[in-house]
Amino acid sequence: MCGILGVYSPLGNNVSQKVMLGLFAEQHRGQESCGMAITDGTKIDLYKGMGLVKDVFTPKVLSQLKGNISIGHVRYPTRGSSTNKNSQPHVVETLFGPTYALASNGDIVNYTHIRKELEAKGVFFKSTNDGELILRYIVYLVEVEKKSIPQAIKEMMKNLKGAFSTVLLTRDTLYLFRDPFGYRPMSYGKLADGDFAVASETCALDILNPIYKTEVQPGQIIIIDKQGLKKSDENFSHKNHQHCVFEHIYFSRPDSTVFEKDVYEIRKKIGRELAGCDKDLNVDMVVPVPDSSNVIALGYAQAKKIPFEFGLIRNHYVGRTFIKPTQSVRDESVSQKFNILPDFFKGKRVVLIDDSIVRGTTLKKLIKIIKHAGADEVHVRIGSPQVKFSCYYGIDTPTKNELIANTKSLEEINNYIGSDTIKHLNLKKLKKVVEDDKNYCFACFNGDYLVK
Amino acid sequence: MCGILGVYSPLGNNVSQKVMLGLFAEQHRGQESCGMAITDGTKIDLYKGMGLVKDVFTPKVLSQLKGNISIGHVRYPTRGSSTNKNSQPHVVETLFGPTYALASNGDIVNYTHIRKELEAKGVFFKSTNDGELILRYIVYLVEVEKKSIPQAIKEMMKNLKGAFSTVLLTRDTLYLFRDPFGYRPMSYGKLADGDFAVASETCALDILNPIYKTEVQPGQIIIIDKQGLKKSDENFSHKNHQHCVFEHIYFSRPDSTVFEKDVYEIRKKIGRELAGCDKDLNVDMVVPVPDSSNVIALGYAQAKKIPFEFGLIRNHYVGRTFIKPTQSVRDESVSQKFNILPDFFKGKRVVLIDDSIVRGTTLKKLIKIIKHAGADEVHVRIGSPQVKFSCYYGIDTPTKNELIANTKSLEEINNYIGSDTIKHLNLKKLKKVVEDDKNYCFACFNGDYLVK
Amino acid sequence: MCGILGVYSPLGNNVSQKVMLGLFAEQHRGQESCGMAITDGTKIDLYKGMGLVKDVFTPKVLSQLKGNISIGHVRYPTRGSSTNKNSQPHVVETLFGPTYALASNGDIVNYTHIRKELEAKGVFFKSTNDGELILRYIVYLVEVEKKSIPQAIKEMMKNLKGAFSTVLLTRDTLYLFRDPFGYRPMSYGKLADGDFAVASETCALDILNPIYKTEVQPGQIIIIDKQGLKKSDENFSHKNHQHCVFEHIYFSRPDSTVFEKDVYEIRKKIGRELAGCDKDLNVDMVVPVPDSSNVIALGYAQAKKIPFEFGLIRNHYVGRTFIKPTQSVRDESVSQKFNILPDFFKGKRVVLIDDSIVRGTTLKKLIKIIKHAGADEVHVRIGSPQVKFSCYYGIDTPTKNELIANTKSLEEINNYIGSDTIKHLNLKKLKKVVEDDKNYCFACFNGDYLVK
Amino acid sequence: MCGILGVYSPLGNNVSQKVMLGLFAEQHRGQESCGMAITDGTKIDLYKGMGLVKDVFTPKVLSQLKGNISIGHVRYPTRGSSTNKNSQPHVVETLFGPTYALASNGDIVNYTHIRKELEAKGVFFKSTNDGELILRYIVYLVEVEKKSIPQAIKEMMKNLKGAFSTVLLTRDTLYLFRDPFGYRPMSYGKLADGDFAVASETCALDILNPIYKTEVQPGQIIIIDKQGLKKSDENFSHKNHQHCVFEHIYFSRPDSTVFEKDVYEIRKKIGRELAGCDKDLNVDMVVPVPDSSNVIALGYAQAKKIPFEFGLIRNHYVGRTFIKPTQSVRDESVSQKFNILPDFFKGKRVVLIDDSIVRGTTLKKLIKIIKHAGADEVHVRIGSPQVKFSCYYGIDTPTKNELIANTKSLEEINNYIGSDTIKHLNLKKLKKVVEDDKNYCFACFNGDYLVK
């Protein structure tokens, strides 16, 4: 997962501060590194750094980034190398200077094939990153085959398979485009001061004071230049889409509107659906694994009319480092990340809510300390179906055999993590929640990979 | 506000990792800088840095800090200079090497007077920090007047007025002591592996797996050395104490037990008391200013049986930098820190809960965006009485005339921030909540400074 | 002044160590910054840094620079900005990666005109450096006008006026070329291990163990690739050349052979010619301003059969910093740079030798301390005619009115610097020394600028 | 070898610039690290760094070092660890702040014994450096045994054996003292502006504009405070001294006066004595191994009336790095350090002058390249007797069996290095040169270690 951002100021405002603020609002989509490319029409400056937006884009750095068109990116720590090389935006330079910059969120399924094709033609790669592939593919068509940029983007859309929500900047134009299945979110809007902005999530537009905000459609190309904002006539959208349902369940911020639905509402509904399956369960309280399950738990509590409680306290200073976590670090960090209330669980029957189960190790530890604190019962409720398949569209899921749902039955999982009962929201109910069974990707639950 | 930590391992375990973990759990008490002093019996090593515990105490740094006795500190950005000099622990060195190290949370009221006395005797100061004063006062008595360390601590207790929860380390002993009024919290415990630990808050002991935890009593001196843990015979405690009630309301983590009361429970009770004053108020939901008011709001919602909602979403990446905030930065950062749910407040009557009002600027902005989002009514409820006086016991309150409660009537405040109604928990009810009207300091509400 | 270097290894040896050694031997030609570009056939790596060769190219840095073709550069602190931007080599990158690298010693007289022409065509410049102009001029012809590199170099030679001793590297070929007047030195050779090397001075080839060394002819283009070393058929040399005579007098190391003459011999002859003019002068000793005038003074002493003495001791640690000197620093640094022998000059008649006079400030100070030490007479002899004109071919002479020879008569200079007598080697004698009056540039003495 | 410096300004001038300049003039005595301690009467500031004086004491650093009493040090790369810990000055801190600072040049022979004694008393050491031992020995006597500083210095002089030229600073006084045998040089003087300065060599005083300069006598203690400069009544000098004769031959700068003799004159005399042994030798020229043998070779040439020639050119940029040299680096660096003139030695008979032979590896390489260049004969003449014993008084000689004079006969050495003949100045002649056979240490030649 990653986050993208772009701003175009027709009035020539310096937009670096806006890009920083937008990236800051998308920090939850990637804490490993961040970067910004900006142009004032004569050159393109690039600044990237490992770490958080506020630490990389200090006031001093920002004061040196000037221009009216800019794109930015926050990067998630993936299994690949955590180096500045793989961080975005990518820039292609020519005799005429830095000429193209691009930032993308997603994953190209036929990466290896396309890269080999380009390398055979002499194209040079500096990273192993999908965004660079998209960029060099387009630039090859423009520079060597002499196509226009919009033509090149269209051809890219036909040949590169996978997920991409992408911004491309030249010295005078900002291009936005999104893969034809619309895997990852992407919205744009016009700001109160006349600037245009685009972001992965609407919460990043909100911080910029938008007068309207709307989705970049799957397969759509939008061009913003001094003549204003122009949508491509053609639309490469597939009839049905493949929105990542986990954006609703986990990735996106609850204050974002994603795939035209409010994330907060979806999560409340997930909670309500879970509660609907527990009509006969007598419990004293609902406790979320904070913060990602807070809203699901709230929905459950309201539906079941039992108290919602912050029984687990999360240390928000966890996970600010860009050093890549090993398993041993992950294990240790459960107790660093969560603590329980003292004298709170004694004799209590608890419903513990989480959004999903990957390895099960965190839940196992949490249940242990809750029971150790005297809880009589701990019932685990999960806001999604069992995750059994890896994601090829931008999420760094572990390999299949690291997923507990592939190696243990649900009953074995119940025993393993030490819960009294365990239930998942099933796929049918999830489809009911999103009110759509045609436009979402559920591949991590059912293995139906539409794009390969 | 700051946080202290100490560990003594009778079995000779390396304790640097524990001190780091404990400081990490107390990170909310100070994000500006942190430090650790550690001894292996032959020398005392000191490591300090600006920034967060996880960024300063990297695995590489930790691997070089070795010893079985150690103290640590996290420092809050105060108005004084944000330099490494003022960060703690402080160390005094002699011909015999670094000999004494100390970390303290609090504020010495007669700092200037005592410092002048010591300087007249030639004592040298490297910082303007209270902790250094306590340390050099003690060391003067030991090195020049040839008193024992416990005697010196006792004499210090008699002459230095103010708040101090302090740890002092020599090459073979760990000393814990707390001012006779017990302004700031301080607890110690024995860990499952036989080590002793001390911390500002119990949540920092929890991460170290304690088998028991208990308070260092006001005016108590505890000595831990190879003969074990020994409490001073004398106790310098005043009959009544002066616990800072804001530790319950705001500073401490909700999973801590402070002044022998569970913080979470106190906050729930504050919410219930507030709800008790609103019997006739018809509203649709309760929304906290996250995260500090979450539990108060939950208590209110449960008592009043109306929905608790996360209507404001907090960006947890705010405030990770140690650059000192100016007013202009503070203003801008409200929108960076908080965003509202889309399409959520339209036509709603909202109770907005906050723990306290200092300048009123944050609430003013939040109410503005909530009303702009269509809320019909916004009723502000504050979990504490009006803050009208500065704190001299460890909190960096602004000067009196920056406190809105001193310059405006409550009605004027209601107009200024744009709420429909505003109510504070009054002092009487607050005393009822803490079930004690003799052992707390309420000076920031009523100006009754016991120690001057 | 600057120094260039290049190595091509047909056998695929890693040549980074050789380039470092060669640059190190040319360090006297530039201490401000240095850099290296190297290719292994698949990519071009570039490493540049401010400061000395040994400090920039540490063993760690060198171990990461791998390839069989490489060029390098040392840069002199000129009046322009002392930043990494202006340091060389320059690299031009395309979609196909870094593709061309170039390093040059010299100065392009029609820089502004050519740059404007290129910029009008959209060519982008990162620096204000002559080398970059040469590089982008060539690359423009290759990339846009689709000429071959040798054709492009030829066209460059016709249109760019000035001095350039240049190396150009692609992923498979090393190009050497020198301006048609041969202003600056440039020699190449074959090494004992089969590699080819090129350098500004032969002393830099010596360190690489050459089996032969010879000059790159003025106007010559040499191409080294896997088919070996090939000289261009055409030669763009002018009939007469414009070798910088100051390379003999001052710039080059005394162990170099420059313009096919041994520098040490030339300097000895200058000394002898100066002595020839002093037949009637009775003095006790000859003292050089070390180190640049050592050999001239030795020639003088041997011819006149009076003792050569190291009466002034130079601190060799001066001038290692890349901070640009201001006048006030220059003034102060005379006493830091030179000290006199104690009890040495008392009652002595001294001939003080220097290579040239620019501002006269250093000599003024030296004579003052020598006289203060008791010398009876100080006669100044200068190994070159009076410098009255600025250089446009690679030397950073001050502006005309800073040259003392333009503002004072020789007699006034004698008074100003406090010498008893002063004599310059006149131009006729200098021509006699170099045995050539057609192939040298004497413009700084007589203002005859052939290339404008 | 190392260099010390000290300045006291009675008028309260800021002296940091002077200390920097003096250290800079002593840079040849140590390039590994340098440092300065300075006091303004209220505190002592310390600044140390690895590398050269000009790189460590940048204008920015200097501007923050303020005070009227200061000491400094340059350190030579010895076999011990090249870390900041071992660099000087050392400072001892107490409750009353940094109170004592010391810098010393020399070596304490009974270091281990004295250190153990002090450690048994609890004294703490931060380094393995002799200077720290002297400092802590004195401070122990002052702080614990309550002696005055002059008394403590006297007692130190009685008990610490070895070489030390030392400066000690408190907040109001500068102490100078030198071991009773006067192994290492040390001079002080009064400056034109009224300040007092002390240095290892007079060349470092010269740069400060002295009105007089004179030696600190062996065993003498000098105290400079606001009452002026005061010499101790007692003098601990031994009747005969043990001046290191290599200070004349090699270490000191030729413009220094050392042990009351001018270094330049001594070296000229060495050359003359060598020439006196070569009456029947017919040769064409004398060539020094630059720079250390320049003056010896000049003396030889003048006496023998044959031409002195700079046949070997030294690269002055060698050896600026503080990375410690290994043997392999030393080997390679001969060709980096020296190059020969082209076409110069053909058919020539050469006397090659060096100051001493340690391992013989450098000479072997130089003779090889000179012969390879066509010289008919190379006669080696050495300005000192054979070095057969290690030094315990401040010089980092290799162990005995690394000294070629211990493993080979002179004839074998002649064969090994490839010279035609080889001669050393014998001890008797060396004594004649220094006109003294009682006050010098010749232990490295004859093994007569007076102090053990």
Q: Which chain A residue has the Cα nearest residue C94?
A: A94
* Out of A313-327, B89-103, C234-248, least confident range: A313-327
Q: Strand pairing partners for A38?
A: A45, A70
* Out of A2-11, B36-45, B232-241, C136-145, least confident range: B232-241
| Cβ-nearest to A124 among C92, C97, C136 | C97
**Looking at this protein, which amino acid is placed at residue C316?**
H
> How high is the pLDDT of residue C451?
81
CB–CB of D206 and C339 under 8 A? yes
Q: Which chain D residue has the Cα nearest residue B123?
A: D96
Mean pLDDT of chain D: 94
> How high is the pLDDT of residue D103?
98
> How high is the pLDDT of residue B258?
98
B297 Cβ partners below 8 Å, 6+ apart?
A: B271, B286, B287, B288, B308, B351, B353
Alpha-carbon distance of B144 to A61, in angstroms, equals: 51
* Out of A243-257, B43-57, B128-142, D70-84, least confident range: D70-84
Residue B397 or C133, more confident: C133
DSSP E strands, C311-406 = 312-314, 338-340, 349-354, 377-382
CB–CB of A262 and B341 under 8 A? yes
Instruction: Calculate the CA A81 to chain-centre distance.
Output: 19
Closest of A452, A438, A59 to residue A243, by C-alpha: A438
Q: Which residues of A are catalytic?
A: 2
Q: Which residues of A touch C43 (CB under 8 A)?
A: 124
Closest of A341, A338, A444 to residue A400, by C-alpha: A444
* Mean pLDDT, residues B247-259: 97
Q: In what order do the strands lie in the sheet with B162-169?
A: B90-94, B97-108, B162-169, B174-178, B221-225, B228-231
Q: At CA C196, angle to CA C191 and CA C197, rounded to 5?
A: 90
Alpha-carbon distance of D190 to D209, in angstroms, equals: 9
Q: Tens of pLDDT along B402-437?
A: 999 999 999 999 999 999 999 999 999 999 999 999
The answer to whether residue C231 neighbours chain D at the CB level (below 8 Å) is no
| Active-site choice (D2, D391, D441, D444) | D2
Closest of C316, A428, A16 to residue D337, by C-alpha: C316
Q: Which residues of B touch A24 (CB under 8 A)?
A: 315, 317, 336
Characterize C51-85 residue by residue with b for buried, 16 or more Cβ atoms within 10 angstroms of its Cβ, and e for exposed.
bbbbbbbeeeebeebebbbbbbbbbbbbeeebeeb
CB–CB of B295 and A310 under 8 A? yes
CB contacts < 8 A, A to C, total: 39
Q: Which residues of D touch C307 (CB under 8 A)?
A: 302
The answer to whether residue A46 neighbours chain C at the CB level (below 8 Å) is no
| Cβ-nearest to A342 among B255, B307, B339 | B255
Q: Tens of pLDDT along D245-295?
A: 999 999 999 999 999 999 999 999 999 999 999 999 999 999 999 999 999
Residue A98, min C-alpha distance to chain C (Å): 8
> How high is the pLDDT of residue B323?
42
CB–CB of C94 and A95 under 8 A? yes
* Mean pLDDT, residues B169-184: 97
Alpha-carbon distance of B226 to B128, in angstroms, equals: 34
Evaluate if residue D321 carries a pLDDT over 50.
no
DSSP codes joined into one string, B242-267: -EETHIIIIIS-TT-EETTEEHHHHH
The answer to whether residue C298 neighbours chain D at the CB level (below 8 Å) is yes
Please report all neighbours of D, defined by 3+ CB atom pairs within 8 A.
B, C
> How high is the pLDDT of residue A323?
43
| Cβ-nearest to A341 among B254, B298, B309 | B254
> How high is the pLDDT of residue D333?
77
Strand, helix or coil for residue C299:
helix
> How high is the pLDDT of residue B1?
79
Residue C394, min C-alpha distance to chain D (Å): 23
Evaluate if residue C324 carries a pLDDT over 90.
no
Closest of D327, A372, D315 to residue C31, by C-alpha: D315
Q: Tens of pLDDT along B377-411?
A: 999 999 999 999 999 998 877 888 899 999 999 99
Q: Tens of pLDDT along C151-160?
A: 999 999 999 9
Q: Tens of pLDDT along A407-432?
A: 999 999 999 999 999 999 999 999 99
Q: Tens of pLDDT along D12-24?
A: 999 999 999 999 9
Evaluate if residue C368 carries a pLDDT over 50.
yes
The answer to whether residue D319 neighbours chain B at the CB level (below 8 Å) is no
> How many residues are there in chain A?
452
* Out of A129-133, B72-76, B392-396, C156-160, least confident range: B392-396
* Residue from D58, D320, D326, D345 to probe the interface with C (highest C Cβ count within 10 Å): D320
Question: What is the three-state SS of A135-190?
Answer: HHHHHHHHHCCCCCHHHHHHHHHHHCCEEEEEEEECCCCEEEEECCCCCCCCEEEE
Q: Tens of pLDDT along D197-208?
A: 999 999 999 999
Mean pLDDT of chain B: 94
Q: Which helix (H) or strand (E) holds A114?
A: helix A111-120
Q: Which chain D residue has the Cα nearest residue B135?
A: D95
Evaluate if residue C325 carries a pLDDT over 90.
no
* Residue C123 near residue C142 (C-beta atoms within 8 A): no
| Physical contact, B and A (3 or more Cβ pairs within 8 A) | yes
Evaluate if residue C442 carries a pLDDT over 60.
yes
Alpha-carbon distance of A177 to C244, in angstroms, equals: 59
Please report all neighbours of C, defined by 3+ CB atom pairs within 8 A.
A, D
Alpha-carbon distance of D414 to D416, in angstroms, equals: 6
> How many residues are there in chain C?
452
Alpha-carbon distance of C267 to C253, in angstroms, equals: 11
* Residue D160 near residue D114 (C-beta atoms within 8 A): yes
Mean pLDDT of chain A: 94
- Cβ burial, residue A28 (10 Å; 0-12/13-18/19+): buried
User: How close are the terminal C-alpha atoms of chain B, in Å?
Assistant: 19
* Residue B39 near residue B70 (C-beta atoms within 8 A): yes
Q: Which residues of C touch D300 (CB under 8 A)?
A: none
- Cβ burial, residue D373 (10 Å; 0-12/13-18/19+): middle
* Mean pLDDT, residues D62-72: 97
* Mean pLDDT, residues C227-242: 92
CB contacts < 8 A, C to D, total: 117
The backbone torsions φ and ψ at residue C245, rounded to the nearest 5 degrees and listed phi first, read: -70, -20
Alpha-carbon distance of C284 to B20, in angstroms, equals: 75
Mean pLDDT of chain C: 94
> How high is the pLDDT of residue D78?
60
Q: Which chain C residue has the Cα nearest residue A140?
A: C95
The answer to whether residue A27 neighbours chain B at the CB level (below 8 Å) is yes
Q: At CA D388, angle to CA D385 and CA D393, rounded to 5?
A: 95
> How many residues are there in chain B?
452
- pTM metric for this prediction: 0.92
Residue A316, min C-alpha distance to chain B (Å): 7
* Residue from D40, D42, D85, D94 to probe the interface with B (highest B Cβ count within 10 Å): D94
**Looking at this protein, which amino acid is placed at residue C283?**
V
Strand, helix or coil for residue A236:
coil
Residue C108, min C-alpha distance to chain D (Å): 30
Q: What is the ipTM of this complex?
A: 0.94
- CA-CA distances (angstroms) from residue B151 to B14, B221, B225? 29, 10, 17
> How high is the pLDDT of residue A324?
45
The answer to whether residue C134 neighbours chain A at the CB level (below 8 Å) is no
| Cβ-nearest to A143 among C43, C93, C95 | C95
Q: How many CB atoms lie within 10 A of CB C158?
A: 9
* Mean pLDDT, residues C223-233: 94
B288 Cβ partners below 8 Å, 6+ apart?
A: B294, B296, B297, B298, B308, B310, B312, B352, B353, B354
Evaluate if residue C179 carries a pLDDT over 90.
yes
CB–CB of C94 and A97 under 8 A? no
Q: Which chain B residue has the Cα nearest residue A52?
A: B317
Characterize D390-416 residue by residue with b for buried, 16 or more Cβ atoms within 10 angstroms of its Cβ, and e for exposed.
bbbbbbeeeeeeebbbeeeeeeebbeb
The answer to whether residue A136 neighbours chain C at the CB level (below 8 Å) is yes
Indicate the DSSP class of residue A359: S
> How high is the pLDDT of residue C400?
87
The answer to whether residue D118 neighbours chain B at the CB level (below 8 Å) is no
The first and second tokens of residue C100, run together, are 């061309």
Q: Which chain C residue has the Cα nearest residue D60?
A: C323
D359 Cβ partners below 8 Å, 6+ apart?
A: D398, D402, D403, D404
Q: Which chain D residue has the Cα nearest residue C268?
A: D309
